[in-house]
Structure 1
Amino acid sequence: MSRQISVTRQLMRWLIGVAVVFWFAAAGLAAFVMHHEYQEVFDSALQETTQRLMPLVVDDLYQRANTSVPRSIDEATLSHEEHLLYQARDARGQVLLHSHDAPQAPFEAPLRPGFYQTATHRIYTETALSGTLFLQVADPLDHRWEAMRESALSLLVPVLPLAPLSLVVIWLVVRRSLKPIGTFRHEIGARDSANLMPIEVEKLPVELATIASSVNHLLARLSHAIEAEREFTANAAHELRTPVAGALAQVQQLSRELPKGTARTRAQDIETALMRLARLTEKLLQLARADSGIGLTQAPADLAAIIRLVAADFERGSQHAGRIVLDLEPSATLVRKVDVDAFGIVLRNLIENALTHGASEGNVTISLKDQDTISVSNTGPIVPAEKLAKLTARFQRASARAAGTGLGLSIAETLVRQMGGSLRFRSPASNGTDGFDALLTL
């Protein structure tokens, strides 16, 4: 099974990755530029230092009585660490004077004015006294690289605390930016056959508004198609009721008038077929009403009274007299904002299903459990678990030879979903070893 891709996670990874890469690239470029600028600054300072130091060296060499070679200036008083080293040399290269940290051996730089670089130092040479005196000032390269490293680290170190902080900021920005997508998804998820209202485009970003417009066009076409189908189903079923009822009455009359024999048997078979057609017509009308969304209403109603009324209606019929058991306290109530006609259709279909598919002489028990669950149970064969999950499919029956249209439970499930409830099936029934139990929770 392929793993689903998260747009939010991808955006965060890319944004954080690109931000960090750009930061390091910018730091590297800045370090490169700083290296070039630092070289110019250090070279300029080295040259200026040499030029300013030259008069002092000349004065020290030719005005002091001490003529020992080589010597350093004020050796006894100088104890600090030097960053710049210098040597004063004559035309033969002999060191005449040097700083206290400078070596007594001559620098490896040639005696000519300008810059010269060794493996460890950057040296600038200045000449005086008609080319008889050379002053060489050396700047250690380690000092320059240390300054470069500290400057580069000052650019790179802030990345460490900024990376998690940028993660939080990017997450907040991405979440806020993608919030309209969640709203759009919720709006689409709220659409079904009972709610095909167009989605509000004005509140969506430009990128989603075009998609929402296409979805609205699709919803409009779908609404038109569903409405045409409902009208056809309702009109066809309504138009069939009268001729079917008339034909059924004529066949019943004919069946009573015919003598016993083959003709009477055929008339009774036609009567059975017409009765099935009448039931199918009635179910198609219920299906059209269920698809139109009649489950909810704003006015609360006591559904316990509807349960008693439907049970009494079944008891009055000669076909099911004595088989309905109503387990309901006289004072019990079940008040819900549910359309009473829709609830009556659901309860009637559940009872008809229990009577049709249960034991031929078994009872159907209607009870109210936990003040919110209605149970309709019967006795009879156990329905396999794999068939229980398919009972709400249209034209699906527990057995191919069973009576019924296969629409009753589908209609009940559609209406219960519109009521905001749930419909569950169990077999065997609760507190029993056989039978079937339909649990309607509101």
Structure 2
Amino acid sequence: MREKTFSLSRRLILSLSILLVLFWALATALAIHAMREEFDDVFDSALQETTERLVPLVVNDLYHRDANAEPVILQDIPPGDDDGQLGYQVRDASGRVLLHSSYAPATAFSAPLKPGFWSDEHYRFFTAATVSGSLFVQVADSLDHRAEANRGGALSLILPVLLLLPLGMLAILWVVRRAMAPVERLVGAIAQRDGSNLSEIRLSDLPRELAPIPASINRLLERLHGALLAERDLAANSAHELRTPVAGALAQTELLVSELAGTPAQARAGQVLKGLRRLSVMLEKLLQLARAEAGIGMADQPIDLGGLFDLVLADFRRSNSTFDVTVERGASGVPIMRSIDPDAFGIVFKNLLENALRYSLPNHPVSVALSADGCVSVSNVTHPLAEPDVDMLRQRFRRGTSSAPGSGLGLAIVDQLMLQMGGRLLLKTHSGADGVTLFEATLDFSAR
């Protein structure tokens, strides 16, 4: 099961953005709370000052009026620009309303006749008494007025935050991406290293925290390259050194078989010859595998795939006179240019032809086709495979149920070289028109 992965930069951006929003929200809430307390202090101070200024004015006005059973309505005497939000009453010690402003009711306020502040659900009151304590002036300030001021102040804090938060998130995005750029370059450089690319990682602008990583990877790549080179050299040198003695043993064994014709020992000599031929084939495949692991697939200059196709096919026909093949060539005369190594293509195409010749059923021709989009396919009639997954044949030393001699390396070599040439090896089986099983191998260069 494939493990789920996540983006470090995306997680950082998301986490920092959430923290930024939370801190801004907390700071705004604290600022609004502090502002509300300051507004209450300012309004209370203004309310107290207004009441204390009204006391001598309304009391003087009251003493110059005749006694009246009904309360007197006076126009407001605004000490400042209060927009009519303040209302006041003058009450005697019994609580009767003697004077009231046009913004205050004729009935007595609910506030008690006690100097100081008092509040109900709708108003904030301040009560001031005269020196004799016989008259009380009460001024009421609407709490809705205060709530409106608090809302205005809160909006003045929230709206700039709502505008600055997106800018802050964009700044976080820019900073994180800028900080993560060296990491992404390092990841990209490491991702490009594989079995065919063990070159040194050279990144000069890495931060101090990342600088040891490429140095350690370069040392590891150097040791790995040396180990692979030693392994390839051993396989190639061993195969090359063994080719001459094996060829000599083959020649001597063939002479021995002919000399032992008609004797009981001929059969055993034939088995030795068969084993030597298989060993010769194995040595040839080991040499091809060593070349494949050396990374010979890519080429700097493009070459015509159609010309290589015709050349390899003609050479194989000359070497195998009994090879029965039908050729289908699309877009004849139109060059199919691909940046591939001619030797690598010759190895992969020849391996497919050898497999088709070796494992094809008798009296059934091998079909070879070249399409205009750069796909080379080789198909042959074969026995039904025991395993439905034909991709297992691309593994080393994996063979089907056929008893025909083979090394088990041909398709593995083809698969490795195709990856180096930027193509794909496609394997499949399907039923033919007469019910036979067709095995088809395709060299797909269409993506190049």
TM-score band by shorter chain is 0.7 to 0.9
Which residue in 2 is equivalent to 1:187?
A: 189
Instruction: Give the Cα–Cα distance (whole angstroms) in 2 for the partners of residues 113 and 331 of structure 1.
Output: 111
2:410 to 408, 411, 435: 408
1:226-305 to 2 correspondences below 5 Å = 226-305=228-307
Moved more, 253-262 or 396-405: 253-262
Match of 1:315 in 2: 317
The separation in 2 between residues aligned to 1:37 and 1:302, in whole angstroms, is: 85
When residues 403 and 142 of structure 1 are mapped into structure 2, their CA distance, relative to the original with a 3 A threshold, is same
- 2:33 matches 1:44: no
Name the residue aligned to 2:438.
Answer: 435
Which residue of structure 2 aligns with residue 344 of structure 1? Answer: 346
Give 1:419 deviation, angstroms: 1.2
Mapping for residues 34-183 of structure 1, pairs under 5 Å: 34-62=35-63, 64-69=64-69, 70-74=71-75, 82-91=84-93, 93-111=95-113, 113-118=115-120, 120-156=122-158, 178=180, 180-183=182-185
* Identical pairs, percent: 45
Which deviates more, 35-44 or 150-159?
Answer: 150-159
* Paired residue total: 437
Q: What is the one-letter code of the residue matched to 1:440?
A: L
Deviates more, 1:266-275 or 1:426-435: 426-435
Residues 240-264 of structure 1 deviation map (CA, whole Å, 9 limit, x = unaligned): 2222222222222322333533322
Q: Which moved more, 1:10-19 or 1:48-57?
A: 10-19
| 1:338 and 1:419 in contact (8 A); partners too | yes
Deviation (angstroms), 1:68: 2.3
Amino acid of the structure 1 residue aligned with 2:295: G
Q: Using the alignment, how far apart are the partners of 1:192 and 1:323 within structure 2?
A: 40
Show the counterpart of 2:79: none
Distance, in Å, in 2 between the alignment partners of 1:30 and 1:299 is 70
Distance 1:142-1:277 versus aligned 2 partners, 3 A rule = same
Could you tell me whether the CA contact under 8 Å between 1:300 and 1:337 is conserved in 2? yes
Deviation at 1:94, TM superposition (A): 4.2
More deviation, 401-410/64-73:
64-73
Q: CA 1:302/1:136 → structure 2, altered by over 3 Å: closer, same or farther? A: closer
Cα deviation for residue 366 of structure 1 reads 3.0
Equivalent residue runs for 1:346-385 within 5 Å: 346-370=348-372, 372-383=374-385
Q: CA deviation at 1:415?
A: 1.1
Structure 2 CA distance for partners of 1:99 and 1:323, relative to 1, 3 Å: same
Deviation at 1:112, TM superposition (A): 5.1
Deviates more, 1:35-44 or 1:243-252: 243-252
> 2 CA distance for matches of 1:327 and 1:138?
103
Deviates more, 1:87-96 or 1:44-53: 87-96
- The 1:429/1:326 distance shift into structure 2, 3 A limit, reads farther
1:279 alignment partner, SS class: helix
**Aligned-pair CA distance for 1:168:** 6.5
How far 1:395 sits from its partner (Å)? 1.0
Q: Say which SS state the counterpart of residue 138 (structure 1) adopts.
A: strand
Describe the SS at the equivalent of 2:85: coil
Note closer, same or farther for the CA distance 1:312–1:101 as it changes in structure 2 (3 Å cut). closer
Looking at structure 2, the residues matched to 387 and 73 of structure 1 have their Cα atoms a distance apart, in angstroms, of 103
How far apart, in 2, do the equivalents of 1:308 and 1:134 lie?
Answer: 118
Q: Which moved more, 1:254-263 or 1:410-419?
A: 254-263
Asked if the contact 2:323/2:357 (under 8 Å) is kept, the reply is no
Q: Which moved more, 1:159-168 or 1:361-370?
A: 159-168
Deviation at 1:294, TM superposition (A): 0.5
Whether the 8 Å contact between 1:413 and 1:423 is mirrored in structure 2 is: yes
- Larger deviation, residues 288-297 vs 44-53: 44-53
- Find 1:224's aligned residue among 215, 223, 226: 226
User: How far apart, in 2, do the equivalents of 1:242 and 1:285 lie?
Assistant: 14
In structure 2, how many angstroms separate the alpha carbons of the residues matched to 1:224 and 1:73?
106
Q: Answer whether contact 2:13 2:172 (CA < 8 A) is retained.
A: yes
- Flag structure 1 segments of 5+ consecutive residues without an equivalent: none
Q: Tell me, in whole angstroms, the C-alpha distance in 1 between the residues paired with 2:113 and 2:329.
A: 119
Distance 1:334 1:383, change over 3 A: farther
Give CA-to-partner distance per residue, 1:167-214, whole Å, 9 cap, x none: 676566655655555544433332221111233333445555444444
